[in-house]
């Protein structure tokens, strides 16, 4: 297969000295020699796109940060290490092997956008990575790699939404991970807006009220949020140049991408592949192909993009290659589904995941999402009729109405792709031709050990109010946690450390 080692090291880099001995630090040294604008120009020329899911051009994002600098507060760089997309384990794999190049990328970002502070946003449950990154930060500071830049390691909640950029900034600011209406890059909105508007807010809600008010954007300090893998690419681009970065990959998707393959394959795993490699090859090489005696029916790229039917497996793994077949690269998570897997059950699993993880600030997303989960469960259990299917199609088309964040759009895209791509799978349940099954477990990955992915089984008990209580309280998270920031101690939104 087309492989290259750029961000996912094959062996473990244990110390900063070891990293330096392998040319670590060259990117930061080069960045210190030039004007910040040249750093951004090099990134723009490289064509690097964000690996957190949306594929936004990284250089353009950094330039926007500079253009939106606050006149009163410095910019912050945030490393998004929340990794919650079902079927994805790439960021934790990168960090376990080598956290130093991610920190180097963050320090280069701080130089480029004029930040004095880096927040490394992990999840509290990612303890192996928390320990590793904490030690790496201490080494970087002790060896004088970060003069004038403070580090903070933030241990956030487990919720899927915590990875969404504005929800992440909310959590870092001590609120719950609810997406906000605001330019996505603004951090500390409430604090600054409160000062600018001269009024206090004790609300635990996201910062929508403040942003809807008479806030002067010049005061809001921007935060540059970049994914772990994105930042892992930066140091070598600056050290070796944009042309070097473009020696592999495609024109629109230069470089490599770190893919996770799970599901009905002989083994599960993570590997770095050159952009443009056919998906079939990625599955063969990382997963060893489909389980013995089975055929691939489809591939689910997490819960962010349309399902990929088996006949399209020769599509190139790149932003343009997967979007050309009606799907998308997302965070390069490929959940392989063989011919024994019931796709109505998969649709029910996707709907449950997105319905439960929805925060409930937008009614169609939360209530419509949960309704879809229920209706689809009815189909997979063969307890539904034609009218149920009509309801499902209607709600799938409206679940994203007035959506504040992209989660609801994902819900619509993924469900409609399964409904329209595999109508027979649903019809078979209505006709009594398919065996009744429970929804397929779609949840975040806890680890991959000896080629076996460990999916978060606790998600089966997670309630739509984000508790694991035997009974749901009937409240959506936005109402349950919105009343008081510290009111409910079963949900701890934030822990700040290591400033």
Ligand X SMILES: Cc1cc2nc3c(=O)[nH]c(=O)nc-3n(C[C@H](O)[C@H](O)[C@H](O)COP(=O)(O)O)c2cc1C
185 vs 426 by CB, closer to ligand SF4 = 185
Instruction: Say which entry of ligand X, ligand SF4, none residue 227 contacts (CB below 5 to 8 A, set by partner kind).
Output: ligand X
**Residue 158 makes contact with ligand X by CB under 6 A:** no
CB of 73 closer than 8 Å to CB of 51: no
Closest separation in Å from C-beta 406 to ligand X = 4
CB of 233 closer than 8 Å to CB of 48: yes
Interface with ligand X (CB under 6 A), residue from 20, 34, 54, 135: 54
**Residue 365 makes contact with ligand SF4 by CB under 6 A:** yes
**Residue 442 makes contact with ligand X by CB under 6 A:** no
153 vs 403 by CB, closer to ligand SF4 = 403
Closest separation in Å from C-beta 421 to ligand SF4 = 24
**Residue 372 makes contact with ligand X by CB under 6 A:** no
- Touching ligand X, residues 11-30 (CB under 6 A): none
**Residue 7 makes contact with ligand X by CB under 6 A:** no
Site size for ligand SF4 (CB under 6 A): 14
Q: CB-based contacts of 423: which residues, under 8 Å, 6+ apart?
A: none
399 vs 405 by CB, closer to ligand X = 405
Residue whose pair of structure tokens reads 């027979």 in the numeric block: 424
238 vs 405 by CB, closer to ligand SF4 = 405
CB of 331 closer than 8 Å to CB of 90: yes
Q: How far apart are CA 257 and CA 302, in angstroms?
A: 15
45 vs 197 by CB, closer to ligand X = 45
Which has the closest alpha carbon to 106: 130, 156, 140, 68?
140
Site size for ligand X (CB under 6 A): 24
Contact pattern for ligand X over residues 218 through 247, marking x by CB under 6 A: -------xxx--x-----------------
Interface with ligand X (CB under 6 A), residue from 165, 170, 210, 342: 165
- Touching ligand SF4, residues 403-462 (CB under 6 A): 403-405, 407-408
196 vs 270 by CB, closer to ligand X = 270
Interface with ligand X (CB under 6 A), residue from 8, 40, 46, 51: 51
**Residue 56 makes contact with ligand X by CB under 6 A:** yes
Piece of 105-113, 354-362, 454-462, 486-494 that binds ligand SF4 (CB under 6 A): 354-362
Closest separation in Å from C-beta 307 to ligand SF4 = 21
CB of 414 closer than 8 Å to CB of 349: no
Query: Furthest-apart CA pair in the chain: how many Å?
Result: 70
Closest separation in Å from C-beta 357 to ligand X = 7
177 vs 263 by CB, closer to ligand X = 177
Instruction: Say which entry of ligand X, ligand SF4, none residue 358 contacts (CB below 5 to 8 A, set by partner kind).
Output: ligand SF4
106 vs 365 by CB, closer to ligand SF4 = 365
- Touching ligand X, residues 65-94 (CB under 6 A): 80, 82-85
Residue 234, Cβ neighbours under 10 Å: how many?
31
Piece of 65-73, 148-156, 294-302, 356-364 that binds ligand SF4 (CB under 6 A): 356-364
Interface with ligand SF4 (CB under 6 A), residue from 101, 117, 191, 366: 366
**Residue 175 makes contact with ligand SF4 by CB under 6 A:** no
Residues that bind ligand SF4 (CB under 6 A): 161, 179, 358-362, 365-366, 403-405, 407-408
Residues that bind ligand X (CB under 6 A): 50-54, 56, 61, 80, 82-85, 160-161, 163-165, 225-227, 230, 405-407
């Amino acid at each position: 297969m087309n492989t290259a080692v750029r961000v996912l090291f094959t062996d473990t880099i244990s110390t900063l000295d070891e990293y330096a001995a392998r040319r670590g630090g060259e990117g930061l040294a080069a960045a210190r020699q030039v004007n910040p604008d040249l750093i951004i120009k090099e990134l723009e020329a490289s064509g690097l796109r964000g690996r957190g899911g949306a594929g936004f051009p990284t250089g353009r994002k950094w330039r926007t940060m500079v253009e939106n600098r606050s006149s009163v507060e410095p910019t912050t760089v945030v490393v998004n290490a929340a990794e919650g997309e079902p079927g994805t384990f790439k960021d934790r794999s990168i960090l376990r092997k080598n956290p130093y190049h991610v920190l180097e990328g963050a320090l280069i970002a701080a130089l480029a956008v004029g930040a004095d502070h880096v927040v490394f946003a992990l999840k509290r449950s990612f303890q192996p990575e928390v320990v590793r990154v904490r030690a790496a930060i201490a080494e970087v500071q002790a060896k004088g790699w970060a003069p004038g830049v403070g580090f903070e390691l933030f241990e956030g909640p487990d919720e899927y939404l915590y990875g969404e950029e504005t929800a992440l900034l909310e959590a870092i600011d001590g609120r719950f991970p609810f997406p906000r209406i605001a330019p996505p890059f603004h951090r500390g909105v409430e604090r600054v807006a409160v000062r600018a508007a001269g009024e206090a807010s004790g609300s635990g809600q996201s910062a929508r009220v403040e942003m809807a008010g008479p806030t002067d954007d010049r005061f809001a300090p921007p935060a540059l949020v970049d994914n772990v893998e994105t930042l892992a690419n930066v140091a070598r681009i600056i050290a070796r140049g944009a042309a070097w970065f473009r020696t592999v990959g495609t024109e629109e998707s230069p470089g490599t991408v770190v893919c996770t393959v799970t599901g009905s394959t002989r083994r599960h795993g993570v590997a770095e592949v050159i952009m443009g490699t056919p998906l079939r090859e990625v599955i063969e090489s990382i997963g060893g192909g489909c389980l013995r005696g089975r055929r691939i029916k489809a591939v689910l790229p997490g819960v962010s993009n349309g399902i990929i039917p088996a006949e399209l497996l020769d599509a190139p793994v790149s932003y343009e290659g997967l979007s050309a077949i009606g799907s998308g690269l997302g965070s390069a998570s490929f959940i392989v589904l063989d011919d024994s897997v019931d796709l109505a059950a998969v649709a029910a699993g996707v709907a449950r995941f997105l319905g439960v993880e929805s925060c409930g600030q937008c009614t169609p997303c939360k209530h419509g999402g949960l309704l879809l989960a229920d209706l689809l469960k009815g189909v997979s259990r063969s307890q539904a009729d034609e009218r149920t299917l009509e309801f499902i199609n209607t709600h799938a088309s409206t679940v994203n109405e007035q959506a504040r964040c992209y989660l609801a759009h994902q819900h619509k895209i993924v469900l409609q792709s399964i409904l329209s791509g595999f109508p027979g799978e649903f019809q078979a349940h209505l006709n009594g031709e398919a065996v009744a099954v429970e929804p397929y477990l779609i949840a975040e990955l806890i680890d991959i050990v000896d080629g076996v992915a460990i999916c978060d089984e606790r998600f089966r008990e997670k309630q739509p109010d984000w508790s694991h209580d035997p009974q749901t309280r009937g409240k959506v998270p936005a109402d349950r946690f919105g009343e008081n920031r510290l009111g409910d101690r079963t949900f701890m939104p934030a822990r700040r450390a290591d400033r």
